[in-house]
A and B are shown apart, each in its own frame.
Chain A
Amino acid sequence: MLQKKICMLGGFAVGKTSLVRRFVQSIFSETYLTTVGVKIDKKSVELPGKTVDLILWDLAGEDDIGSFRVSYVRGATGLVLVVDGTRAATLAVALTLRERVEAEFGAMPFILLINKSDLADRWAISDSEIDELRQRGWQIYLTSALTGEHVDDAFHQLASMVTK
């Protein structure tokens, strides 16, 4: 049994919870997010020769970075940063959250999901911006909770990153 603690970070209403809803095992209701501030789900990923259980800590999204409970990230081996592609500001929020986590616990592997790719007409993040981040070696996926596009790929990528 190989498990890894993964934290999902992102601003308010970027769609973290709906993004994973169809792809994970869950026993806790979404009210945990508003009460305890975290909801825990599990995603099993099959890698060559092993199965990794990603224990996903879905942290309540806050645009107010100050109220982010950084202690929940303790012991995590990877991050999933989620951004709403129709609100450019959420990218800055996700990057700031990552910086805070990195300052507290050191660098760790992460993937960046730019969500709501199905809303192309309201898209607010330019390709050049995404390309620039990609050039830093970041793993970026354009995802859609609606169509489920690229979500599985992204988790697969993260699983292989944290088990290296």
Chain B
Amino acid sequence: MTSTVDPFNLPKRTASNDTEIDREALARLLIEIARNVDPDYRAQFEAVPTADPRMETLRQLLVGREISELSRVTQLLGEPEQLAAAVGDVLPNAAALAPHAQLGEALAPAVERAVQRSIQRSPRTLTDILYPVFLPAIRKSIGEKIDQTFQSLNETLRHIFTWHGLKWRLEAWRTGASFSAVVLKHSLVYRVEHAFLIHRTSGLLIAHVTADNATSEDPQLISSMLSAIQDFVKDSFNEKEQGGLDTIRFGELRLWSEVGPFATLVSVIRGNPPEELHEIVRDVLLRIHEQSSQALEQFDGDGSQLASVEAQLQTCVELKQDESHEGFPWLVAAVALLLLSLAGGWYFLSWQSAQRWQAYLSRWQAYVSRVEAQPGIIVAEQQVRDGQFYIAGLRDPLAVDPQSLLSGTEVDPAQVHSQWQFYQSLEPEFVLKRLTASLAPPESVRLSIVNDRIVAGGEAPDTWINRARTAAQQLSAGGPIFDISGVRDVSPEARAAERWQAYVSRLETQPGIIVAEQKIRDGQFYIAGLRDPLGADPQSLLSGTEVDPARVHSQWQFYQSLEPEFVLKRLKASLYPPDTVRLSIVDDRIVAEGEAPDTWIDRARAAARQLSAGGPEFDISKVHDVSPEARAAEHWQYYVSRLEAQPGIIVAQQTARGGQFYISGLRDPLAADPQALLSGTEVDPARVHSQWQFYQSLDPKFVVKRLTASLNPPKTVQLSIIQGRIVAEGEAPAGWISRAQAAAEQLSADGVVLDVSQLSELNLAELNYLREAIQASNIFFPSGKVVPGPEQAPVLDRLAGQIKEFAENARKSGVTARFMLTGHSDATGRETANASISTARAEAVRALLNKRGVAPELLLVRGAGTFEPLVPENSQAGSSTNRRVSITVNLD
């Protein structure tokens, strides 16, 4: 029995285990295939063993890879954490790709629930998040609401008692609107006078309309300034808000600005606009934006695209509410009259009592200001509380008692509560009082206050004066000055004695003065002793001591002091030491140092011996013997060494013989003159015999001098010595440069470097023009004549001027200009005659130019005969043109 298998049903039959395949079905399928391959080959289905290992192999071969892949995916789905990680990777992308509407709908319930949960758990978090968003909104909304409320309140109050008020109440009742709304509707008086539409980014005016009769300054400037002020406020207060200034208010005038995405609408309103007007203006701005959004966005200062917005703005300025002419407010009048009479009665009563209290209060104030005016009293605080008076402050114990000042003020002392701290006032009068108490000045002293200073005058013993001086020093900080200079010391004798003692002790310290005795008797001073004549004069020492010289009787015996300084003075006076000898005191010895002729040394030695025993030692061992010859030889050596140091001088030989000096050697002619160097050396020129050979020094300094003389460099060239090399820098004419190069080559043979690489050729462009002009000139001659006709005089004048100018400019540039005057003749006549006439013509022009101030050495002359004609010689005109003198300019 055979069975057929439907291959298409196979995949639907699931195996008992996920990982196992339906082996039976597979086996049948294979048999089926085999049957189809060879219909003769038949096999029983039952004959196929169910557990054929080949089946397993086949299965691995067919779907092994899929099985392992499937098991990985299954594992991934089975592990929640791995699955979450995989979905997390793609979730943001998936959300972004999902259609927005569907995603929003799908997420909305979840988000709502999440927010709800968040608020229930911690309302704070969400509040913090939303705070920056809703605070400005709330602020603005509250502000507007409060404005509205105030307006309606004002208006209600204004109209509550008028007939209109009653009428409007009726209207409110009838229409069901609030009374204040009705009042506002009827009472707000305003007019929109201007509407500016301003471009937001540039502040440029897009459009402007004005109500009838309203005037303003240039709207373009106003609109820019308005946006500048917006920027200013925004910057100044660091306001990040996208809005702008809502309202600017100035008296009756309000500027309301509504900010749109591209333009700001500013309406200028006179009067009291209702808050709804904001809405109206906002609507206008919205309509403008709707209508012309693109034109506004692209606005670049050209308003022609936006002409239509004016019509919209016009609707703004038509907004107004005229003043209603209300009837007389009878009700107000009646009520006001009643209130006035009641208030009047009450006011009169209270006025009376207030008057009394005021009078009392002003008496208290008078008392306080009287206390404040007292010296030595400082009122720190005063107040009136519950009908009681309180005063506190500082008072000097010497000041008036504030309590006593109360009498006569009609202020009840029982109501006054004072609190005073004692202090010491520094006001001069208190200081004076205290000084009088502490110093107890004698009757002969007068203390007074002069310009806030305390001045003491009169007479007092010095003890009192000293005490007063101490007191004055203590006073100084912050207090008044206590001037006691006007008090005369009344014990002059005592003072004189002191001064005498000071004088005597001064004398005793003087070197060369010995005080033997001194005394005071009957106001006279006696002093006696010894003094050295070289010591200070005791009489002259009196000056400055305030001792009266007339009362001094001195008796001085002269003696010779042996103190070193006196001995030194005496030695100087007797020995006349020469300038080269220095006398000084070293450790009580007198020491002579330096050089002196032997004659002086002998005298000094004698003086040293004569110094009496007990006096200081006179040491002359350090004085050198200097005879004039030795001195002269020294001077000579100094001169020779000075010569040797001179650049460009080489000393070959020098000797001093028989009082004469001989010197010979080489010197550069540019070096210093050896003879001139003698001055100041104290060498007698008459005894000097020099023999100098000239030579050329290769010292760069001398080379530079020689180069300057021989090359005569122009002013534009600088010669300098840099590290032993001579460097020429600057601009020079080409001729000069080549001369300098030649000089450099010559010098290099002597081992001296002259660097000419820094030279550049002088630019004579400015001169070229002049040169052209000169060379283009010709002086013409009549036939057979060697002197030009009178008509050539102006040409010669001009030429002379140009030549002089050219020569001068060339000289300034360091170039010498020479002018070659070439004479020409026409071809008429003999050649020899023509040659001589041409030279004569050149000579004549040279003379004429010389006459016009051109230096003759600049002018060279030659005759060209007929050899250099200007034009071919074939006509009369040709001949006359060729009779001429031409000029060429040469520079060297």
> Hey, which bits of chain A sit against chain B, CB under 8 A?
1-5, 25-28, 32, 36-38, 40-42, 53, 55, 57, 69, 71-72, 74-77
Bound form: Cα–Cα A41–B224 in Å: 9
Q: A2-B302, A36-B228, A36-B232 are contacts. A74–B202 as well, Cβ < 8 Å?
A: yes
Closest to A76 in B: B202
At the interface with chain A, which of B175-183, B213-221, B530-538? B213-221
| Chain B window 193-215, contacts with chain A (Cβ cutoff 8 Å), 1 for yes, 0 for no | 00000011111110000000000
Bound form: Cα–Cα A133–B239 in Å: 39
> Inside 8 A of B224's CB, which chain A residues have their CB?
5, 40, 55, 57
Find out whether the CB atom of A2 lies under 8 angstroms from the CB atom of B301.
Answer: yes
Closest to B201 in A: A75
Find out whether the CB atom of B229 lies under 8 angstroms from the CB atom of A36.
Answer: yes
Find out whether the CB atom of B220 lies under 8 angstroms from the CB atom of A53.
Answer: yes
Q: A27-B218, A53-B220, A71-B234 are contacts. A5–B203 as well, Cβ < 8 Å?
A: yes
Find out whether the CB atom of B235 lies under 8 angstroms from the CB atom of A75.
Answer: no
Find out whether the CB atom of B221 lies under 8 angstroms from the CB atom of A26.
Answer: yes
Bound form: Cα–Cα A62–B222 in Å: 24
CB of B231 within 8 A of chain A? yes
User: Which residues in window 258-310 of B have CB below 8 A to A?
Assistant: 300-304
> Hey, which bits of chain B sit against chain A, CB under 8 A?
199-205, 217-218, 220-222, 224-225, 228-229, 231-232, 234-235, 300-304
Find out whether the CB atom of A3 lies under 8 angstroms from the CB atom of B204.
Answer: yes
Q: A71-B231, A71-B234 are contacts. A77–B300 as well, Cβ < 8 Å?
A: yes
Closest to B207 in A: A1
Of the A-B pairs whose beta carbons lie under 8 Å apart in the complex, a sample of 14, sorted by A's number, is A2-B303, A3-B204, A3-B220, A3-B303, A4-B204, A5-B202, A5-B204, A38-B228, A42-B220, A55-B203, A55-B224, A69-B235, A71-B234, A75-B203
Q: Which of A3, A25, A57 contacts B228 (CB 8 A)?
A: A57
Find out whether the CB atom of A28 lies under 8 angstroms from the CB atom of B301.
Answer: no
Bound form: Cα–Cα A33–B482 in Å: 58
Bound form: Cα–Cα A40–B221 in Å: 6
Bound form: Cα–Cα A41–B303 in Å: 19
Q: A74-B202, A75-B199, A75-B202 are contacts. A1–B303 as well, Cβ < 8 Å?
A: yes
Bound form: Cα–Cα A91–B388 in Å: 74
Find out whether the CB atom of B228 lies under 8 angstroms from the CB atom of A40.
Answer: yes
> Inside 8 A of B200's CB, which chain A residues have their CB?
75
Find out whether the CB atom of B301 lies under 8 angstroms from the CB atom of A25.
Answer: no
> Inside 8 A of B228's CB, which chain A residues have their CB?
36, 38, 40, 57, 72
Q: Which 10 A-B residue pairings sit nearest by Cβ, starting from the closest?
A: A75-B202, A75-B201, A27-B217, A5-B202, A3-B301, A40-B224, A38-B228, A4-B301, A1-B303, A36-B232
> Inside 8 A of A74's CB, which chain B residues have their CB?
201-202, 231
Bound form: Cα–Cα A85–B474 in Å: 65
> Inside 8 A of A28's CB, which chain B residues have their CB?
221, 225
Find out whether the CB atom of A40 lies under 8 angstroms from the CB atom of B301.
Answer: no
Other than A74-B202, A75-B202, give 8 A-B pairs with Cβ distance below 8 A.
A4-B301, A5-B224, A25-B221, A37-B232, A40-B228, A42-B220, A55-B204, A77-B300
> Inside 8 A of A5's CB, which chain B residues have their CB?
202-204, 224, 301
> Inside 8 A of B304's CB, which chain A residues have their CB?
1
Closest to A24 in B: B221
Bound form: Cα–Cα A69–B232 in Å: 9
> Inside 8 A of A55's CB, which chain B residues have their CB?
203-204, 220-221, 224
> Which interface residue of A1, A38, A77 has the most chain B CB atoms within 10 A?
A1
Bound form: Cα–Cα A26–B217 in Å: 10
Closest to A32 in B: B225
Bound form: Cα–Cα A36–B222 in Å: 14
Bound form: Cα–Cα A62–B231 in Å: 18
Bound form: Cα–Cα A148–B336 in Å: 69
> Inside 8 A of A4's CB, which chain B residues have their CB?
204, 301
Bound form: Cα–Cα A32–B222 in Å: 13
Closest to A59 in B: B228
Q: A3-B301, A4-B301, A57-B228 are contacts. A27–B221 as well, Cβ < 8 Å?
A: yes
Closest to A5 in B: B202
Find out whether the CB atom of A25 lies under 8 angstroms from the CB atom of B204.
Answer: no
Bound form: Cα–Cα A2–B220 in Å: 11
> Which interface residue of B221, B222, B234 has the most chain A CB atoms within 10 A?
B221
Q: Which of A27, A32, A57, A77 contacts B301 (CB 8 A)?
A: A77
Closest to B222 in A: A27
Bound form: Cα–Cα A74–B227 in Å: 11
> Inside 8 A of B203's CB, which chain A residues have their CB?
5, 55, 75
> Inside 8 A of B234's CB, which chain A residues have their CB?
71
> Which interface residue of A28, A36, A55, A77 has the most chain B CB atoms within 10 A?
A55
Closest to B233 in A: A36
Bound form: Cα–Cα A32–B224 in Å: 13
- In angstroms, how far is the closest chain A Cβ from the Cβ of B719? 31
- In angstroms, how far is the closest chain B Cβ from the Cβ of A119? 31
Q: A3-B303, A36-B232 are contacts. A75–B221 as well, Cβ < 8 Å?
A: no
Closest to A44 in B: B220
> Inside 8 A of B205's CB, which chain A residues have their CB?
3
- In angstroms, how far is the closest chain B Cβ from the Cβ of A107? 16
- In angstroms, how far is the closest chain A Cβ from the Cβ of B199? 7
> Inside 8 A of A40's CB, which chain B residues have their CB?
221, 224-225, 228
Bound form: Cα–Cα A69–B230 in Å: 13
- In angstroms, how far is the closest chain B Cβ from the Cβ of A124? 30
Bound form: Cα–Cα A27–B219 in Å: 10
Bound form: Cα–Cα A42–B222 in Å: 11
Bound form: Cα–Cα A41–B228 in Å: 12
> Inside 8 A of A42's CB, which chain B residues have their CB?
218, 220-221
Q: Which of A27, A72, A75 contacts B204 (CB 8 A)?
A: A75
Bound form: Cα–Cα A40–B220 in Å: 9
- In angstroms, how far is the closest chain B Cβ from the Cβ of A15? 21
- In angstroms, how far is the closest chain A Cβ from the Cβ of B782? 55
Bound form: Cα–Cα A4–B41 in Å: 102
Bound form: Cα–Cα A42–B225 in Å: 11
> Inside 8 A of B302's CB, which chain A residues have their CB?
1-2
- In angstroms, how far is the closest chain B Cβ from the Cβ of A127? 20
> Inside 8 A of A2's CB, which chain B residues have their CB?
301-303
> Inside 8 A of B199's CB, which chain A residues have their CB?
75
- In angstroms, how far is the closest chain A Cβ from the Cβ of B631? 65
Find out whether the CB atom of B221 lies under 8 angstroms from the CB atom of A72.
Answer: no
Bound form: Cα–Cα A10–B222 in Å: 24
- In angstroms, how far is the closest chain A Cβ from the Cβ of B255? 15
> Inside 8 A of B231's CB, which chain A residues have their CB?
69, 71-72, 74
Bound form: Cα–Cα A42–B203 in Å: 13
> Inside 8 A of B220's CB, which chain A residues have their CB?
3, 42, 53, 55
> Which interface residue of A27, A40, A77 has the most chain B CB atoms within 10 A?
A40
Bound form: Cα–Cα A37–B225 in Å: 11
Bound form: Cα–Cα A72–B220 in Å: 16
Bound form: Cα–Cα A71–B237 in Å: 14
Bound form: Cα–Cα A76–B301 in Å: 10
> Which interface residue of A5, A41, A53, A74 has the most chain B CB atoms within 10 A?
A5
Bound form: Cα–Cα A99–B303 in Å: 30
Bound form: Cα–Cα A113–B228 in Å: 24
Bound form: Cα–Cα A28–B223 in Å: 12
Q: A4-B301, A36-B232, A38-B228 are contacts. A25–B201 as well, Cβ < 8 Å?
A: no
> Inside 8 A of A72's CB, which chain B residues have their CB?
228, 231
Bound form: Cα–Cα A32–B220 in Å: 17
Closest to B230 in A: A71
> Inside 8 A of A3's CB, which chain B residues have their CB?
204-205, 220, 301, 303
> Inside 8 A of B300's CB, which chain A residues have their CB?
77
> Which interface residue of B205, B224, B229, B300 has the most chain A CB atoms within 10 A?
B224
> Which interface residue of B201, B205, B301 has the most chain A CB atoms within 10 A?
B301
Bound form: Cα–Cα A72–B217 in Å: 22
Closest to A71 in B: B231
> Inside 8 A of A75's CB, which chain B residues have their CB?
199-204
> Inside 8 A of A76's CB, which chain B residues have their CB?
202
Bound form: Cα–Cα A42–B201 in Å: 18
> Inside 8 A of A57's CB, which chain B residues have their CB?
224, 228
